[in-house]
Amino acid sequence: MREVEPGSREWAQSVAQEHLLLEREIATVRQWWQERDELSLPGCREMASRVRRLRDRVVEHFAEEQIGGFFRHLAMSEQQSRRACQLEAQHATLRRRLDDLLQRLESGAPDAATWRGAGDELDEFLAVLQEHEANENRIFAQSSGLELQAVEEASDE
């Protein structure tokens, strides 16, 4: 994200845009996996490459949230604040899960068992990450008053 005044409308739009980009990346990886799985086309190396790109995006995204104090600049209720802390605490676990999956993909033999197990794990991870991001987005939308679709549509113009 570029430098903007934390808590400003421009900052909120920048944060929302970053979340939308991550959501698109998650959807792209999920769609790729579903297509490969339906066709029974193993591709451990390609999966590793896609998981690495996702991992890099997730790590950057989480760092931006933590360094930039993503939730710190929003007016939140006490309940939202507690939930935001819980979500932030999940970052390390999510990153570790992604690192473990990537390590297995990069070091394992590219056989059908590795492919199936990794695919199942990837699918489960993507669902958890998507839910995590949806929870963050709900708090963000409630606290900032900014609708994510409005930001996406404005960025497409």
The confidence score (pLDDT) of residue 149 equals 53
pTM reported for the whole predicted model: 0.77
Asked whether residue 152 carries a pLDDT value surpassing 70, the answer given is no
Asked whether residue 29 carries a pLDDT value surpassing 50, the answer given is yes
CB-based contact 74:138 (threshold 8 Å): no
Domain ranges for the chain: 9-156
Give the chain's mean pLDDT: 79
Asked whether residue 151 carries a pLDDT value surpassing 60, the answer given is no
The confidence score (pLDDT) of residue 143 equals 78
Percent of the chain at pLDDT above 90? 22
CATH architecture entry for 9-156: Up-down Bundle (1.20)
In angstroms and rounded to an integer, the radius of gyration of the C-alpha atoms of the chain is 17
The predicted model gives 44-55 an average pLDDT of 87
Percent of the chain at pLDDT above 70? 73
Contacts 24+ apart (CB under 8 A), 116-125: 118/44, 118/47, 119/33, 119/36, 119/37, 119/47, 122/29, 122/33, 122/47, 122/51, 123/30, 123/33, 125/94, 125/97, 125/98, 125/101
The predicted model gives 105-115 an average pLDDT of 71
